Amino acid sequence: MSCLQCNDQAPLLRVLNATHYYGGRKGCADVSFDLWPGEVVAIVGESGSGKSTLLSLISGRLPLTSGAVVYRDALGRDRDMASMSEGERRRLLRTEWGFVHQNPRDGLRMRVSAGGNIGERLMACGARRYDDIRQTGHDWLHRVEIPVERLDDRPTAYSGGMQQRLQIARNLVSSPRLVFMDEPTGGLDVSVQARLLDLLRHLVRDLGLAVVLVTHDLAVARLLADRLLVMRNGGVVEEGLADQVLDDPHHPYTQLLVSSILQG
């Protein structure tokens, strides 16, 4: 089977029995999965199912109560998240990783121009020449379909959809290997959502990004994800190929979730 010979021999991220308790209350428990280079995994489930807790755990923003998360870095070293220092984790988040928040205000610096938002991340990766940084900022605005004459505007002057596209540009400009997305289309109008989804779909494919995506919107999951994890009460109740889980759900909860989609 040729996938055994493909160049990506090891998972990028390995999650093993990831568990987090908020005091005595379970956030998520015993979640395990591997994420391979170029693979998009969506975590779906209703509010309170533990999907955002899981995303926080695997991106190192919340400590594990038990279990392990191992990231294979660009140099091929296995990095155990629990033993990584806060500084190392922040460096990863600025360089090899991206994090797209539901609310762009959480992922952008609102007092800095759009170009500055993009340039800041480039400088964190070592870029120094002003002209190069400005040109890359220019290219990325174009790529996320923001008029380039808005390069020097602050994000506060942008619409919600533009802010979200800018946040995506800020994250992707450093060619990250792994991007976490928390409801990236959540706060947007339906028409703006479609455009953003289409843009994301192309970028993910063109850049070969590995993505962990949290969404409660199954249509978003179907369009973007290779694989789904369905969460309920802090645990994974069903997982598999995205279209298979959505078209032939086995678990009672997944069946309920899928049958609750309004037919357009």
CB of 18 to other proteins, least distance (A): 12
**Choices 108-116, 152-160, 176-184, 240-248; region in contact with other proteins by CB under 8 A:** 240-248
Out of 135, 159, 233, 255, the residue judged to bind other proteins by CB under 8 A = 255
Applying CB under 8 A, among 88, 120, 217, 226 the residue interacting with other proteins is: 226
Nearer to other proteins, 133 or 236 (CB): 236
Q: How far is the CB of 74 from other proteins (least distance, A)?
A: 15
Nearer to other proteins by C-beta: 46 or 243?
A: 243
**Residue 192 interacting with other proteins (CB under 8 A):** no
Using rule CB under 8 A, residue 34 touches other proteins: yes
Counting contacts by CB under 8 A, is residue 248 touching other proteins? yes
| Number of residues in contact with other proteins under rule CB under 8 A | 43
- Give residue for tokens 């706060």: 187
C-beta of 182 vs 239, nearer to other proteins: 239
CB of 189 to other proteins, least distance (A): 13
Out of 21, 32, 127, 143, name the contact with other proteins by CB under 8 A: 32
Concatenating the DSSP letter of every residue in the chain gives: -GGGTSS--S-SEEEEEEEEEETTEEEEEEEEEEE-TT-EEEEE--TTSSHHHHHHHHTTSS--SEEEEEEE-TTS-EEEGGGS-HHHHHHHHHTTEEEE-SSHHHHS-TTS-HHHHHHHHHHHTT---HHHHHHHHHHHHHHTT--GGGTTS-GGGS-HHHHHHHHHHHHHTT--SEEEEESTTTTS-HHHHHHHHHHHHHHHHHHT-EEEEEES-HHHHHHH-SEEEEEETTEEEEEEEHHHHHHS--SHHHHHHHHTSPP-
Place of tokens 């596209």: 165
Task: Give the nearest distance from C-beta 33 to other proteins in angstroms.
Answer: 5
From 4, 23, 83, 85, residue interacting with other proteins (rule: CB under 8 A): 4
Check residue 247 for interaction with other proteins (CB under 8 A).
Answer: yes
Residue 146, exposed/middle/buried by CB under 10 A (0-12, 13-18, 19+)?
buried
230 contacts 254 by C-beta, under 8 angstroms: yes
219 binds other proteins (CB under 8 A): no
- The residue ranges that bind other proteins (CB under 8 A) are 1-4, 6, 9-11, 14, 16, 32-34, 36, 39, 68, 70, 72, 78, 194-195, 197-198, 201, 205, 223, 226-227, 236, 239-244, 247-248, 250-252, 255-256, 259
